[in-house]
Structure 1
Amino acid sequence: MGLENIKRIGCALLLGFVLVMGNAQSVDTASLAWFKDAKFGLFLHWGLYSQTAGDWKGHPAKGGEHFMLYERIPLKEYALIANDFNPTGFNARQWAKDARRAGMRYVIITSKHHDGFAMYDSKCSDYNIVKCTPWGKDPMKELAEACREEGLKFGFYYSLGRDWEDPDVPTNWPVKAGRSNTWDYPDEDAKQLPRYMERKVKSQLRELLTQYGRIDFLWFDTPELVTKDMSREIRELIHSLQPQCLINSRIGNGMGDYSIVEQKLTGGIDNRPWEACLTMGKNWCYNRHDTVYKKPDVMIRHLADIVSKGGNLLLNIGPDGKGCFPALARPGLDAFHLWLEMNGEAIYGTRPWHTYGELYDPSVREKSNEKAFHDAVYDGTPQEIVPDFRYTQKGNAVYVIVRHVTAPSFTLSAFRPSDRVVSVECMDSHQTAEWRQDAGGLHIALDAGEKHCPVYVLKVTLDM
């Protein structure tokens, strides 16, 4: 073979490789770009634990949706809960409408939590909602369709490295066997994780990716002892069936597309794709004892903080055993609807500015709520309200999200002389604000009689 032919073949092979990689990357890039623009999603924890609603044998259960572990309930006894699970109030269309109305752009629901119970019609495991409950329906099919009809992207949560129904799932957090079913399956060393991966995980992932149309997310939890090879094989399986599907970092071993922050806020800007998942109340699942939910303005405050730092908020609701959203979730959903109707421009499609925010009074700082992580009931979000500002940016606009500042005038020192301000508008009233700019920053003076939400937005247009 001549040198020129070798060169031509080599160039053709290289071009083919570049095109293949380019096409694969373009799908991934498009999905991630959409994700970074979306900003707000709905998380749904729904399962057998929703039926017991926080009680077990006449007393409040320990561990929230993890109560099978904390109460050390034998599998045969726990499975009996399914006999009473009859969610006749389930309305997939209403769930999707509520999410869309609240301004959410995607929905992720538990297909299988740590208890191992499949909330869909799984052919590889009879331990599922269709075969074990009097209801006998597959809610995932209806919900996937309803979300698409409402223009929402849709995905599944899947507990990866914990499964208390399966005999082959060892764990290592916080110690060896720390999150394993050792009362039904006491020999931790006999558990063979590869058998579980082949028998259940890969089989169920194939079902989830082939039975419900387009799946936009696979949201894994608790990788535990999953190896790098296992994570790689799972990722390859997902993309062989649904190439556009985004995968979170809890697939393990650095194989995810975006990272997760759970039940806390971050300290600074991260321009890589990430998501904070937060609860409305104390628990992820429905719990009748969970009677104090976060105030709507506090949840909006959290959304502003997360977006100002480059992330998305995945806000959780735990539907009850009848398949209905708790009444306590309604004020938050309604508040997000109203606030994002007025101020969504400052959230969707934005990116962080050169700083995420500043304090109204530099001498008053928000106290850290960092504490030891607990994977059952934990909340590391701030517990006090400190007046401050958060910033987002889109095009030639900088959005100042004013959080619990009641004063009609203040100075935004983050604005530098090089940030040539053209106008300042209150987005809720569409009124122009008085302003002046100097070396000290941007000085704002609002109408003292004008009423604003506890969290409101100023749109600052720059000459760029």
Structure 2
Amino acid sequence: MEHRFSEHTRASLPDRVRAWQQAKFGMFIHWGLYAIPARGEWVQFAEGLPAEEYGQYAPQFDPSGFDAAEWVALAKAAGQKYLVFTAKHHDGFCMWNTALTDYNIVKASPFGRDPIAELAAECERQGLTFGVYYSVKDWHHQDYPTRYTYRTKRHPDGFHGRPKTDADFMKYMDYMEGQLRELMTGYGRIGTLWFDWYGDAFEREDERERARQIIDMVHDLQPDCVVNDRLGGVGADFTTAEQTIPGSAGDRPWEACMTVAGSWGYSANDTVKDGPTLIRDLVDIAGKGGNYLLNVGPNEQGRIGEAEAASLREVGRWLEANGESVHGTAAGPSMRWEPNLAAATRRPGKEYLHLDSWPEDGRIFYNQALRTVTGAYLLADPECTPLPVDVHHRSVMIRLPAEAPASVGNVIVLSYEEH
């Protein structure tokens, strides 16, 4: 059975969640010490590197090519409305000038700058909402219990770069709360707090209560900040689907996080997805009422690869003509039984039919036109030239030009009589 938000459900959501849902499309950025070995963000775990060995990347980290303005400008060119940056990944290396550990980019690297401060300022200047990712799991902090990390055949009790037999998770939670307080108070408006990976933590009620206290602090400091579901589900405003798109909309706000390339962190041998693939994913997600958080992994110099950038710009050009069918829309009905249609999105008075192919007979049949149709046109047509529409019982037949105006991403607008 397909579940969709009722109007009552939408109306009852907090304002911060409704505003976040309107944005639809954001940029995820995974960047840290792991960009130096260029084998992905899990390289420390994959190669079993102790903290002393992995930490040798810190004095090598001097990304002279980093330019916050360029990153934010690329997100804008892609049509993205918000940005989420990895403040601390599983390796524990902090990408801001935290006072709570010297294991950070300002104190431990020759770079000596705070990229979060620069990105937050640029997002404010260029009109994007800034957010931070924070890994609960930490392979560096000794009070993060090894048993709460990922277990494999190689690491049956979990992996930690600096294991400690008497690790105290509550002390680690104090550290986490202190760092989040820094992030929530030192960088202006924070629109998203994106937690990641908590292993077996938060199964105990005292841990869950501590998590609730942290979420309360976040909302006291940043009332408009949305929080995902990876703090043991505590305080979650939305759920996260990773590297997959759900088959249908769920009954809660959701976001799909996916990568432009294969890995989250920079990997030298990754294959980059092309623009049409990203457009199809965006349409699929928007049609199911979700948000799309699309990741790039800058290299050790702080540069986003040109192939990734080119694919993002192609999405942006499509959104320049068709963004009305994505930003600010709600989910439409399932297109499971609709030939040539990939998805539908809605806003008051309009429905947007996203084509996945141009029909050979020049006709699109839509069997879920449940209101009075007053017109149809191709969204990318600046003249809004009317398309002939034959109205049937709760369905319409739309006649199209012989040739598709674009090779991918054509959108038909159906206008409805307002009630």
Q: Under a length normalisation based on structure 2, what TM-score does the superposition of the two structures give?
A: 0.90
Q: Give the Cα–Cα distance (whole angstroms) in 1 for the partners of residues 289 and 82 of structure 2.
A: 17
Deviations 1:68-94 (A, max 9, x none): 011110101101111211111111111
Against the structure 1 CA distance between its residues 157 and 97, is the aligned structure 2 distance closer, same or farther, given a 3 Å change threshold?
A: same
Match for residue 253 of structure 2? 273
Q: Please state how far the C-alpha of 1:413 moved relative to its aligned partner.
A: 3.6
2:319 maps to which of 340, 353, 359: 340
Match for residue 32 of structure 1? 17
Q: Give the Cα–Cα distance (whole angstroms) in 1 for the partners of residues 216 and 130 of structure 2.
A: 20
Deviations 1:346-401 (A, max 9, x none): 11111123x1323554xxxxxxxxxxxxxxxxxxxxxxxxx532101101101001
Match for residue 403 of structure 2? 449
8 Å Cα contact 2:148/2:198 also seen in 1: no
Q: Give the Cα–Cα distance (whole angstroms) in 2 for the partners of residues 167 and 450 of structure 1.
A: 59
Give the residue type in structure 2 aligned to 1:191. A
Identical positions, percent: 33
Q: Please state how far the C-alpha of 1:172 moved relative to its aligned partner.
A: 4.2
Against the structure 1 CA distance between its residues 422 and 428, is the aligned structure 2 distance closer, same or farther, given a 3 Å change threshold?
A: same
Match for residue 229 of structure 2? 249
Match for residue 42 of structure 1? 27
Match for residue 392 of structure 1? 345
Q: Give the Cα–Cα distance (whole angstroms) in 2 for the partners of residues 440 and 214 of structure 1.
A: 46
2:335 maps to which of 345, 350, 357: 357
Deviations 1:130-189 (A, max 9, x none): 1111111111111100001111111110001x10101122244665976843463163xx
1:184 maps to which of 158, 162, 171: 162
Match for residue 282 of structure 1? 262
8 Å Cα contact 2:150/2:159 also seen in 1: no
Match for residue 404 of structure 1? 357
Alignment of 1:9-20 (within 5 A): none
SS at match of 2:177: helix
Give the residue type in structure 1 aligned to 2:243. Q
Match for residue 153 of structure 1? 129
Match for residue 301 of structure 2? 322
Against the structure 1 CA distance between its residues 240 and 440, is the aligned structure 2 distance closer, same or farther, given a 3 Å change threshold?
A: closer
1:123 maps to which of 93, 99, 104: 99
Match for residue 183 of structure 2? 208
Give the residue type in structure 1 aligned to 2:388. E
SS at match of 2:138: coil
Alignment of 1:162-241 (within 5 A): 162-170=137-145, 171-172=147-148, 175=151, 180-182=158-160, 184-185=162-163, 187=165, 190-198=166-174, 200-224=175-199, 225-226=201-202, 227-241=207-221
1:304 maps to which of 280, 283, 290: 283
8 Å Cα contact 1:158/1:219 also seen in 2: yes
Give the residue type in structure 2 aligned to 1:328. A
SS at match of 1:110: strand
Match for residue 43 of structure 2? 67
SS at match of 1:250: coil
8 Å Cα contact 2:142/2:164 also seen in 1: no
SS at match of 2:336: strand
Match for residue 6 of structure 2? none
Q: Give the Cα–Cα distance (whole angstroms) in 1 for the partners of residues 323 and 233 of structure 2.
A: 35
Q: Under a length normalisation based on structure 1, what TM-score does the superposition of the two structures give?
A: 0.81
Against the structure 1 CA distance between its residues 460 and 257, is the aligned structure 2 distance closer, same or farther, given a 3 Å change threshold?
A: same
8 Å Cα contact 1:423/1:460 also seen in 2: yes
SS at match of 1:442: strand
Q: Please state how far the C-alpha of 1:334 moved relative to its aligned partner.
A: 1.3
Q: Give the Cα–Cα distance (whole angstroms) in 2 for the partners of residues 325 and 112 of structure 1.
A: 19
Are 1:82 and 2:58 an aligned pair? yes
Match for residue 110 of structure 2? 134
User: Computing the radius of gyration over CA atoms, which structure comes out larger, 1 or 2?
Assistant: 1
Match for residue 387 of structure 2? 433
8 Å Cα contact 2:240/2:256 also seen in 1: yes
Q: Please state how far the C-alpha of 1:295 moved relative to its aligned partner.
A: 1.8
8 Å Cα contact 2:50/2:160 also seen in 1: no
Q: Give the Cα–Cα distance (whole angstroms) in 2 for the partners of residues 243 and 27 of structure 1.
A: 16
Match for residue 60 of structure 1? none
Deviations 1:31-57 (A, max 9, x none): 112111110110000000012212xxx
Q: Please state how far the C-alpha of 1:408 moved relative to its aligned partner.
A: 5.3
Match for residue 3 of structure 2? none
RMSD after superposition: 2.1
Match for residue 372 of structure 1? none
Q: Give the Cα–Cα distance (whole angstroms) in 2 for the partners of residues 239 and 454 of structure 1.
A: 41
SS at match of 2:330: coil
Unaligned runs of 5+ in 2: 1-10
Q: Please state how far the C-alpha of 1:254 moved relative to its aligned partner.
A: 3.6
Are 1:419 and 2:368 an aligned pair? no
8 Å Cα contact 1:388/1:405 also seen in 2: no
Q: Please state how far the C-alpha of 1:258 moved relative to its aligned partner.
A: 1.1
Are 1:262 and 2:242 an aligned pair? yes
1:53 maps to which of 34, 38, 42: 38
Q: Give the Cα–Cα distance (whole angstroms) in 2 for the partners of residues 328 and 111 of structure 1.
A: 25
Q: Give the Cα–Cα distance (whole angstroms) in 2 for the partners of residues 397 and 33 of structure 1.
A: 19
Q: Give the Cα–Cα distance (whole angstroms) in 1 for the partners of residues 390 and 129 of structure 2.
A: 43
8 Å Cα contact 1:356/1:391 also seen in 2: yes
Q: Give the Cα–Cα distance (whole angstroms) in 1 for the partners of residues 240 and 124 of structure 2.
A: 25
